[in-house]
Structure 1
Amino acid sequence: MLNNGAYDERFKELMQEAYQQDASEQGTADRYLLPGADRRMIANIFQSEPVQVSPEPKKIRLWPKIAVAASIAAVMGIGTLIYVNRHNKHNIETLAVNDVAPGKVGATLTLANGKKILLTDAVNGQLAREAGVKISKSKNGQLLYQVTGDGGEDKINTLTTANGETYQVRLPDGSQAWLNAASSLTYSASLIKNGNRSVKLTGEGYFEIAKDKLHPFVVETATQKVEVLGTHFNVNAYTDEAAVATSLLEGSVKVSSSSGAHMIKPGQQALNDGAGIKVVKTDVDKVVDWKDGEFNLDEVDFRTAMRKIARWYDIEVVYDKSVPENIEAWGWISRSSKLSSVLKLIENSGLVRFRIEGKKVYVFK
């Protein structure tokens, strides 16, 4: 590959050093940097015979540009790569010192009489009764409602998650709801109100609705209503997002606001910015990643991704004016990872850096 013999030997030494260093620090040398094609090229430098690399599963690549950069570095010289690797090591060590633990399963249930129950601390079993409705906590930590008699329509309950919390509830009709961080779900203990199964949502929730043709299920936010009979869908109604996003996985839903109503199909998303509703195609895997315990950030706006991260780790993100507006995030990582692991992956792009100070994360170029 290289014509100068002396330089060729030094190139190999530097490449080996960088590869071994990255492998020892990260667990696997190609976890962040090099796809299979680049590793085949490197293998040819070290050996006279090519090495066959078996197809690899989809891995974390939070910013694919790093793979391109690594390929260029391998061709043009490894010195820059070694410098970046050592520079990133210093940043990683700094982040780890001020690390933040991930969020957890937890929520607060407020009963009709104002009593608050911290579900994280509550023991399993019956928690309360609300006019013919039994409320309990299951062995796996899920909140359960069971109708045991008439009544409960005027008994309003609210399930609330703080930043860094998520929770699941089985409603009286058998429907399942998941709440993301910094969200709330308000409903009557019997769920039925004015002939509908009705809930009010702030923040973000995912719903799997039990079929009941006689009682439509209605999710109300500050700016719209979503009406279904039986389906799977997600509603993102965070006030710091540009629009309320209703995304459909199964069935069909009607999204209505003061500007009109729209029916959406699986794989579609209704975006309500207050002025009107626009229906677009969406990748539902990226929409419900939080319910599955992941951050799926493929082609997600960087600041949108950081808002998701901020809610889960209960942090404030502060941007330096040097950070570009048009950055996109890539890849996925588990929400059970510590904050430093998430930021470390992003830093490998070379596009931004982070500094953690208490509950604040500073972003700069």
Structure 2
Amino acid sequence: MNRELINGLIEKYKNGSATEAEKQTLMNWYREVAEEESVFPGAEHDIENQMLQRLQLDIKPVNKRNNLRLWAAAASILLVLSAGVLLLKSHLIRPGTQSDTELAGNAISPGGNKAFLTLANGTKISLTDAQAGEVATQGGIQIKKTGEGQIMYVISDQKQKAAKTTEYNTIETPRGGQYKLLLPDGTVVWLNAVSSVRFPVNFSSQKERRVELTGEAYFDVAQDKDLPFRVVARGQEVEVLGTSFNISAFPDEQESRTTLVQGAVKISAGNSSVQLRPGQQAAVTGSIHVKNIDPAEAVAWKNGYFRFDDEPLESIMRQISRWYDVDVTFAGEPLKSELFAAAAKRSTGISELLSVMEQTGDVKFDIDGSHITVRKKNK
């Protein structure tokens, strides 16, 4: 969609002449490009500011799940654009008029590249502190850290390729951490916060490439038709030959979700199994449920963004807790089911993120050190 058309839609929305279809077009455009461009084209700051002020005065957030799922007209634009203030450098939070949330939360920083490597003999190495170069050696296999901070495995002793036994390593991220690694077969793995992957250091001696995941990871699997790739995660098994997909299998979430970006995967759980097509997501809660989604939603974290679409506040705060390394409590159970839609860079300070969420809903966040209390906003 060209810039002239979008600027025209923004202007029409500002002066109240946009039709419902035009509002929907503007919303769809924003959701598609916000993660890539992070600002309106052409630096339309004056239009943006007037739009946001008008939205705040005229439209109330929608709390019912069915209405949010429909993203109906003006209410959906409020949720997307108001949350998008983070991406638009927030005209609503100005120097000298910061909210209590922002002032109290300045000491809490976003997460970064942090991880620990546990070798087969139990030795634990901080990959955050390790220098570029060789990190460790295991039976003729070198573990190296690249200049970009990525871990990779190199078989330096060719006898290892014919070895009948292999050892296992585990890479895990703490709260406030993420990490990218290259498995011995060339598969690239991005680990989200509070996640771990266990894998053999040599796939050559195996009949399959089997890894174990806890938490969330994005896999870009190296093709090898003779060695199928399998991920075991929280009661499910995902089988692939060569593809890109995301698995979210945190122990504290109600369901495990596998989202296929490209290729094909087979999900097995209990006595059930399904095969996914690109753009589909399988949710496992004992049984398997498949739905069509935008894969960009599931992999936003890997690309450096939060993206919440019609998501309960309890789930959102669990993600915030993992990334910012904070503890969260709710002053009232009903608050947990409040629904939000938002998009923000993961490099955004927690105070700015929470401040904008306060302005798009009826909640207030109290920050005390590394603890956040969520309560109902006083009217």
**TM-score (norm: length of structure 2):** 0.74
Shift of 1:147: 2.3
Q: How many pairs align?
A: 305
Is 2:274 aligned against 1:262? yes
Among 104, 116, 137, the residue aligned to 1:97: 104
Is 2:299 aligned against 1:288? yes
Is 2:146 aligned against 1:138? yes
Aligned partners of 2:195 and 2:215 also within 8 Å: yes
Is 2:167 aligned against 1:155? yes
**Structure 2 residue aligned with 1:127:** 135
Letter in 2 for 1:150: K
Is 2:202 aligned against 1:215? no
- Percent identity of equivalent pairs: 35
Shift of 1:90: 6.6
Aligned partners of 1:110 and 1:116 also within 8 Å: yes
Instruction: Tell me: CA distance 1:340–1:323, structure 2 relative to 1, closer, same or farther (3 Å).
Output: farther
Task: For structure 2, list consecutive stretches of 5 or more residues without a partner in the other structure.
Answer: 1-9, 18-28, 41-50, 61-91
Shift of 1:65: 10
Q: How does 1:292-303 map to 2 (within 5 A)?
A: 292-303=303-314
Among 187, 190, 196, the residue aligned to 1:178: 190
Q: How does 1:292-331 map to 2 (within 5 A)?
A: 292-321=303-332, 323-331=334-342
Instruction: Tell me: CA distance 1:254–1:350, structure 2 relative to 1, closer, same or farther (3 Å).
Output: closer
Aligned partners of 1:103 and 1:313 also within 8 Å: yes
SS of equivalent to 2:130: coil
Aligned partners of 1:323 and 1:363 also within 8 Å: no
**Structure 1 residue aligned with 2:14:** 39
**TM-score (norm: length of structure 1):** 0.76
Aligned partners of 2:179 and 2:191 also within 8 Å: yes
Alpha-carbon RMSD: 2.9
Question: By percentage of residues, which structure has more helix?
Answer: 2
Instruction: Tell me: CA distance 1:144–1:69, structure 2 relative to 1, closer, same or farther (3 Å).
Output: same
**Structure 2 residue aligned with 1:70:** 57
Shift of 1:72: 5.4
Among 333, 339, 343, the residue aligned to 2:350: 339
Larger Cα-atom Rg: 1
Within 2, Cα distance between the matches of 1:70 and 1:253? Answer: 47
Within 2, Cα distance between the matches of 1:67 and 1:221? Answer: 46
CA offset digits 1:121-164 (Å, max 9, x no partner): 10100111222321100000000112232337421100010010
Among 168, 176, 186, the residue aligned to 1:164: 176
Letter in 2 for 1:332: A
**Structure 2 residue aligned with 1:250:** 262
SS of equivalent to 1:123: coil
